[in-house]
Chain A
Amino acid sequence: EVQLVESGGDLVQPGGSLRLSCAASGFTFSSYSMTWVRQAPGKGLEWVANINHDGFEKYYVDSVKGRFTISRDNAQNSLYLQMNSLRAEDTAVYSCARAGQTWRALNTWGQGTLVTVSS
């Protein structure tokens, strides 16, 4: 069974840091681009970052550039999101998703992990 499981969400103070993890199973992780998407409480979906299959191409939404870093460990079938200089507006459920190889549609999603930025 193809599965993605996120972890690492927590309550953190503004300006703090957090590292999210996403454990993948049931597919050849190293063959797929991976994405982080977030959803603030009561709001819509926001694409955050994408990393290609070998980790050499990374893209970010402008609002997180310079603060967040996406990475992966293909040997460990894991995806990460290092989040620094966190702001209240980063409060959201963060989900990892697998991107299709041709059209980049997000065909598998994890259940998400909640990040709350508050003092």
Chain B
Amino acid sequence: DIRMTQSPSSLSASVGDRVTFTCRASQAVNGYISWYQQRPGKAPKLLIYAASALEYGVPPRFSGSGSGTDFSLTISSLQPEDFVTYYCQQTYSVPYTFGQGTELQI
């Protein structure tokens, strides 16, 4: 199984900051990386797929990058509604594992 490791587990920031989360796969995943945002008590929302493609309707302050085993999600200017939890997932090889999540705290 491919292990996904997100870092940090939590991150403190302020409105307007630029932040980057990282996700490392235990083996190459050929760009099959997605990023999700989850608000408390709500279903996850797809932000980024194919490592860097912005899902329709997602604000352009979100961006993804990376290749091989190392990927990142960047939020260019934090808004109040961005202080929630983010997960990466690989869909290259079953089981399609998630990272453990990064909680963004104000």
Interface residues of A (CB under 8 A from B): 35, 37, 44-47, 50, 59-62, 95, 99-100, 102-107, 109-112
Contact = CB atoms under 8 A, between A and B. Distances in A.
Interface string B20-60: 00000000000010101010001111100110010100000
B98 interface: yes
Interface stretch (B11-19, B70-78, B89-97): B89-97
B95 A60 contact: yes
B67 interface: no
Contacts of A62: 1, 95
A103 B34 contact: yes
14 contacts: A35-B96, A44-B100, A45-B98, A46-B98, A47-B95, A102-B50, A103-B50, A104-B32, A104-B91, A105-B34, A105-B49, A105-B89, A106-B34, A111-B43
Nearest to A59: B94
Contacts of A50: 94, 96
Interface residues of B, number: 25
List of 7 A-B pairs having minimum Cβ-Cβ separation, nearest first: A105-B49, A104-B91, A109-B43, A105-B34, A59-B94, A45-B98, A61-B95
Contacts of B38: 45
A102 B53 CA distance: 12
A109 B34 contact: no
Contacts of A35: 96
A35 B91 CA distance: 11
B63 to A, nearest CB: 16
Contacts of A46: 98
Given A45-B44, A47-B95, A109-B45, 15 more contacts: A37-B44, A44-B87, A45-B87, A45-B101, A46-B98, A47-B98, A50-B96, A103-B32, A105-B34, A105-B50, A105-B91, A106-B44, A106-B46, A107-B49, A110-B43
